[in-house]
Structure formats: structure tokens, C-alpha cells
Amino acid sequence: MASLNKQPRIVLLDIEGTVCPISFVKDVLFPYALSALPSVLEREWDSPSFRVYRDAFPAEHAASQEALLAHVRDLVARDVKIAYLKSLQGYLWESGYASGELKAPLFPDVAPRIAKWTQEGWSGEGGGKTVQVKIYSSGSVPAQKLFFGHTDAAPESDLRPRISGWFDTVNAGPKTEAESYRRILESEPHVPADEWLFLSDNVREVAAAKEAGMQSFVVERPGNAPLGDEDRAKHRVVRSFDEL
């Protein structure tokens, strides 16, 4: 059983590989965006609503529809988590979530635990000391809100009301840099760093969060990259939020 040094007042959650399978992002979300992009380029290349995303691309990759499509395909193939791609992906996923074609598959422990933390507090004794839940993902904040607004959880599939903060690589910074977590800490200056608990599948992110003073555990889920002995020796590992 993973143990904590201090009871958290804020839980900061990664998304891919932590609350949902990596396969949903890699095998559903990314292909969906790639399949939607050609017709969006054809239809909206000069529309104001799309120009916002197009103009965020480096000029050489936004010179034509073909150039932008080729660049996006390359970035996705290499899983480059660059902000302008993440923003465009969020735009492309919007219609899929709205139509019901996309629904975020949460691991079974996630929604009940988020409900418990935010309604009853850490150990479920209530007493008014509820826990805040915030998100930090490479996915853009709009994409995060689409994800948590359309989950497969029941009875409430829209978990956005339970989430009090949204951070991505634009408003916080790269996830493997401690400075990004320090920036996130500044959003709640009254909460000491060690009363934050960051949960992620990525050991480099966990290390960066700990360098910033947060508590942080590695989350091991089916389909995640295998953890090395060194990772297990260096970091606490949980397989479910129910272990916390």
C-alpha cells in the first residue's frame, strides 16, 4: 500500500495512462483527429474559426493544406506534444464528443475516487476538509474539458464540476520541468507544496513534480510502458486510486 507523508489537500491528475488507457489517446483520439483533418482543411482553411489554429503553426508548415496535413501526421506519428498540435486536436475532437462518437473511458476507480475526494475528503470522514482535484495534461485545456465532460462514468459522465483547475503545456509549461509544477503551485499559494499529490504514468513528470516539492506517485495501468527496477526503487507506484 503506497503511503503518503502528508494528507493531500489537492490531487493533480495526469490523463493519458493515469485516468484512461494510453490506447484511447493513441488508438482513438489521435486517429479521429487525423481522419477529420482533411475535410476540415478543405472546408475551413480560410475561416476565422480555423485560422486561430492554422496561424499557431510555424509558417513553413502552414503554407498550404498539404503542408499542414503532412506536418500534423509527422508530429502525431512521433507523439510530439507541442501546444499548437494539441490545440488543433482539441478543435478536431469537439464534434466527435458532441456527436457521441467519442467518449472518454475512465479506469473504474477514477470517477468514484474523484467523487469521494471532492465530496467527503481524503479518508471519507467528511468534516468539511474536501480535496480539490485538478488536471495537468499535455492535452490542451479545452481538450481536457471535452474529455472530462464526456466520460463513460455513471451516474454522472460529466466530471467537470468536480475539477477546480486545468493546466497544460501553455499555462503551466513542459510536464518534465519542475518550474511548471512551481507555476501550478502558485495557483493555490495557501496550500503547501507537500499537500499536493501529483499522479502520472510518466516517471520523468513524477520526478519533476517531486523536485518542485509536491508528493507524487507513479501510476501503473494496463498498457502503460513497463517500469524499470530503478523507477520502482525511486518512486512509489500505485495501480489504482483505491490504493491511496
Q: Which is nearer to ligand L4RZE5RM, 90 or 126 (CB)?
A: 90
3-state secondary structure of 156: coil
- The residue range among 15-23, 46-54, 176-184, 223-231 that interacts with ligand L4RZE5RM, by the rule CB under 6 A, is 15-23
Decide: is 144 part of the binding site for ligand L4RZE5RM (CB under 6 A): yes
Convert residues 92-131 into a mask of x (bound to ligand L4RZE5RM by CB under 6 A) and - (unbound).
----------------------------------------
Grid look-up 507544496 returns 193
Measure the CA angle with vertex 141, ends 90 and 205; round to 5°: 110
User: Per the annotation, does 175 bind a ligand?
Assistant: yes
- Cβ-count burial of 33 within 10 angstroms (0-12 exposed, 13-18 middle, 19+ buried)? buried
User: d(Cα 26, Cα 15) in Å, to the nearest integer?
Assistant: 12
What is the helix (H) or strand (E) element at residue 167, kind and residue range?
strand 163-167
Is residue 168 involved in binding Mg ion (CB under 5 A)? no
Return d(Cα 58, Cα 16) in angstroms, integer: 26
Residue whose C-alpha cell reads 467523487 in the numeric block: 115
Of positions 12, 15, 88, 110, contacts ligand L4RZE5RM by CB under 6 A = 15
Regarding 16 and contact with ligand L4RZE5RM (CB under 6 A), the answer is yes
Q: What is the CA radius of gyration of the chain?
A: 18
Asked if residue 17 binds Mg ion (CB under 5 A), the reply is yes
Tell which one of 33, 139, 150, 238 touches ligand L4RZE5RM (CB under 6 A). Answer: 139
137, 180, 215, 216: residue in contact with ligand L4RZE5RM (rule CB under 6 A): 137
Task: List binding-site positions for Mg(2+).
Answer: 14, 16, 201
